[in-house]
Amino acid sequence: MSGENRQKFYRPFDSLEEFVDAISERFQCPVTIEDANHHLLAYSSHDEGTDAARISTIIGRRVPERVIHRFWKEGVIPTLNQSDEPLVIPEIGDIGLGNRVAISIRSNQEVLGYIWVSEVGCTLNEQDLADLKLIASKAKNQLLQLNLQKKKKEKNHQELLWQIITGDIESHQMIADQLSNIGLHGNKPLGIIIVTFESMNQELYKKVVYTAKTIQKVTILIETLDENQLILLISPSSPKKEVSDVTDFIDTFKAQVKERFGIANLQSGCGYIYENYNYIKRSYDEAAKVIAFKRAFPEELPHVRFYHELGVFRYIDLLKKTEEIRDYPVSPVIQKLQSYDEDNRTNLLETLEVILNKDGNMNEAAKALHCHVNTLTYRLKRIQEITSIQLKDPVQKFGLYLDIKLFKCE
Amino acid sequence: MSGENRQKFYRPFDSLEEFVDAISERFQCPVTIEDANHHLLAYSSHDEGTDAARISTIIGRRVPERVIHRFWKEGVIPTLNQSDEPLVIPEIGDIGLGNRVAISIRSNQEVLGYIWVSEVGCTLNEQDLADLKLIASKAKNQLLQLNLQKKKKEKNHQELLWQIITGDIESHQMIADQLSNIGLHGNKPLGIIIVTFESMNQELYKKVVYTAKTIQKVTILIETLDENQLILLISPSSPKKEVSDVTDFIDTFKAQVKERFGIANLQSGCGYIYENYNYIKRSYDEAAKVIAFKRAFPEELPHVRFYHELGVFRYIDLLKKTEEIRDYPVSPVIQKLQSYDEDNRTNLLETLEVILNKDGNMNEAAKALHCHVNTLTYRLKRIQEITSIQLKDPVQKFGLYLDIKLFKCE
DNA sequence: AGACGATTTGTCAAAATCAACAAATGAACG
DNA sequence: CGTTCATTTGTTGATTTTGACAAATCGTCT
């Protein structure tokens, strides 16, 4: 960098915008500055030849998820995080990304953000890269201020989240106001997601929060940590497809955590997404229950993500706790099947349970039991003869389902 | 009756057999004496020309049910009960019944039994009928002795039944012994049937017990009365078809009570039929619960006779009582459907309930809702869109069923 | 060994369910 | 009044489910 050019970056800048424009002018290229979560902080007004990825980033005020994911797969982001050197990134056509150079902005070991320079019509030489490194170190000062604010804000955020999920603030309006106070406006439907890790530390926490925030199916308003549990206050991105948004979020989150950190057995749960913020506490309770239930009934609830997907198991749990159920006699239906099974080395009770699990779908049940469909229909006929139950009658069927589940839980 | 002949009946008889043979000799016809429940007490050894009905009666030690029923329809038994005159009954070919003459044996107004004279090869003239009336009055003395014993026995019976159903005697062996003591051997499976009447008095009680005892699908070991409730300790006649036996019994009992006494709205319930007499008390509790549940859920449990047919409602009742369920929030699924219904003047919630009641059988549900099947599939699709539930998943389906039932019970 | 009953599997056609589409109805809105 | 959207109904052909039957298998008992 010539003395004159270099001089420019020693002076103070009023805003990040001014700063980014100075960089852009220096390299004669479009420049973008992001925070550590790839949220857009500032972008140069030099807009000639801006590629598709940059446009998306600016429009969405953050780097598109597919781009981030690709950068992870290509090793770009890990490299940037590990060093303070500029990295030259060749064109990746299929996601609309031209050649560019990137560098991390860091304070000590911590990454505060990134500078991206699009090589439009020019290529940065050795000198340029050295200058970029210098500029990044200067950028640190700019970001530190923001970051400090942000850290303070985050503290406020987390306090607020705890107040909400512990029921400390109850009314919808108060919660909305408080959220608004810390810059979270919008009045969108909110819900809680909990993810339980086997172990957790500060470093991992940062990484997984980063991972979560780069998935854009849901907006993470506030995140916090409770022992090994990551707690997220979220709002789905698309108003009408809340469930599929959250589903997608959880799935990609788990996949990425596994891919990036090799952590596989996460337990996650999500409460309902409520428009009325009174219910955020309930959403938290529900999310916690999802995790508890998946622990209690691991085989029967393998794919459950949402509270409402727990279905009948909510009641099974309640019933198990009632005193009356304990000295309740075992249903004669089960007794009869059990003694029949013993006498004849059959397994009609298991057969019945599978049929009920599959809700009477004989083909599926047959598959699960590895036998012919007609075998099943025969067995079912026997079961009905022996026990004189009428599985066609839903009242009896549902009752029997509970009988068996509770019997197995004893 | 000639003086000589008449004389014969003034002397005391050692046994009812001797008495019946004396009558038979007087008329030169086969003669049968029954008690008030048409159980065989004695029959003459004069067996020439005995018709099919008499053979069945003697073999079965009671008058066949179809014969009794026919006599009721023809007005024979009511007539016999109302008067102390002999009744001439013409042949009824289709149930194997030849011409015969019958008369009731009565003490004051109470009918103690009947004398039947088969007119085989002869016809009774006026004199014979007058003599028969005299003989019937003498028979009274014979039967009164039996009857007194029986009344005493019945008292014992009823005490025992109460001891059993209150749990006063618990062990199988003790109950079996006690039953054996009062002449009820056999060690057959036993159960309790309860029938509730709107009002009850001693006279009606006698009549309905009589009606019940003449239905031969089940043997009534002991009967008793508790306020308006008739309580029966029963044993099904056929060992393998217990349920259908009891079903048939209850159905014909109700039909006959309606037909004979014009009493229609009986409530009945039956507990399980247990081989182990420990469980007779349980059978009683179950029968009582059947009646209670049919009161509580009249629309959903119209045809229920047995405890096990209560199915899921046993649990619904339990859940309703739990405290947690009270401050349980209404399921968001229901909430969403409710508000959608309000906004759009639809009735998706009801639709969902009917679909669940019919266990997903769209054709039946459509019939119940008086709409086209495709309308229902459309609505169901909407319901799933609005609430993001997955009715194909039985866990969610069963849960939702309980959600709705409990919601409606609130 | 062989007779018996219970169980399993295979086959086939009738009956039902399902999915996709077109058309009719109807209420709401500017 | 016409337009739009949600809802209802009708039609069709593919697919699945079912029920009845025959045949094969297996264990038990004599």
Residues 6+ positions from B99 with CB-CB distance below 8 Å: B88, B89, B90, B91, B118, B119, B123
- At B151 the pLDDT is 67
CA distance B267 to B265: 7
CATH 3.30.450.40 in chain A: give the residue spans.
3-149
Q: Which two tokens stand for residue B340?
A: 């959608």
B398 chain-A contacts, CB cut-off 8 A: 311-312, 398, 401-402
CATH 3.30.70 in chain A: give the residue spans.
166-315
User: Quick check: A344 CB within 7 A of strand D?
Assistant: no
Residue type, B126: E
Angle between helices B52-60 and B65-74 (to 10 degrees): 130
Partners of residue A117 on adjacent β-strands: A31, A101
CA distance A24 to A171: 48
Closest-CA distance, A274 to chain B, in angstroms, reads: 9
Contact A402 B312 (CB under 8 A): yes
Contact A399 B310 (CB under 8 A): yes
A324 chain-B contacts, CB cut-off 8 A: 318, 321
Q: Per CA to C1' distance, which residue is closest to C7?
A: A375
Q: Edge-to-edge strands of the sheet including B31-35?
A: B40-43, B31-35, B110-118, B100-107, B87-89
Residue type, B51: D
CA distance B281 to B181: 20
pLDDT digits (tens, 9 = 90+) for A168-178: 788 899 999 98
Closest CA to B135 of B30, B27, B255: B27
Contact A356 B400 (CB under 8 A): no
- At A4 the pLDDT is 59
CB B203 within 8 A of CB B111: no
CATH superfamily assigned to domain B329-409: PucR C-terminal helix-turn-helix domain (1.10.10.2840)
pTM: 0.75
Contact B398 A322 (CB under 8 A): no
A279 chain-B contacts, CB cut-off 8 A: 329
Give, as one character, the DSSP assignment of residue A345: T
Whether residue A315 lies within 8 A of chain B, CB to CB, comes out as yes
Contact A395 B308 (CB under 8 A): no
- Vertex B408: Cα angle to B407 and B409 (nearest 5): 90
3-state secondary structure of B100: strand
pLDDT digits (tens, 9 = 90+) for B246-303: 999 999 999 999 999 999 989 999 998 888 899 899 999 999 999 999 998 888 888 8
CB A192 within 8 A of CB A229: no
**Buried (b) or exposed (e) across A304-342, using 16+ Cβ within 10 A?**
bbbbbbbbbbbbbbbbeebeebeebeebbbbbbbeebee
DSSP H/E element including B192: strand B191-196
Of all residues in chain B, the one with the smallest CA distance to A300 is B395
Confidence of residue A46 (pLDDT cuts 50, 70, 90): low
Nearest nucleotide, CA A375 to C1' = C8
Whether residue B276 lies within 8 A of chain A, CB to CB, comes out as no
CATH 1.10.10.2840 in chain A: give the residue spans.
329-409
Distance A342 CA to D27 C1' (A): 15
Q: What proportions of chain B, in percent to the nearest 5, are helix, strand and coil?
A: 55, 15, 30
- At B7 the pLDDT is 66
User: What average pLDDT score do residues B53-68 get?
Assistant: 84
User: What average pLDDT score do residues A372-401 get?
Assistant: 92
CATH of domain A3-149: 3.30.450.40
Question: From the CB of residue A272, how many other CB atoms can be counted at a distance below 10 Å?
Answer: 25
Q: Which residues 105-144 of B are in CB contact (within 8 Å) with A? A: none
pLDDT digits (tens, 9 = 90+) for B311-339: 899 898 888 888 777 767 788 889 889 98
- At B154 the pLDDT is 65
Q: Which residues 83-102 of A are in CB contact (within 8 Å) with B? A: none
CATH 3.30.70 fits A166-315, yes or no: yes
**Which residues bind near strand C, taking a CB cut-off of 7 Å?**
A 344, 346, 371-372, 374-375, 378-379, 382; B 345, 361-363, 374, 377
CA distance B16 to B35: 12
Whether residue B398 lies within 8 A of chain A, CB to CB, comes out as yes
Of the listed ranges A50-64, A286-300, A330-344, A389-403, the one predicted with least confidence: A50-64
Whether residue B325 lies within 8 A of chain A, CB to CB, comes out as yes
Share of chain A above pLDDT 90, in %: 41
pLDDT digits (tens, 9 = 90+) for A53-94: 888 888 778 888 888 888 888 889 889 988 899 999 999 888
- At B6 the pLDDT is 61
Q: Which residues 176-235 of A are in CB contact (within 8 Å) with B? A: none
CA distance A173 to A64: 33
pLDDT digits (tens, 9 = 90+) for B150-188: 666 666 788 789 889 888 788 899 999 888 888 788 788
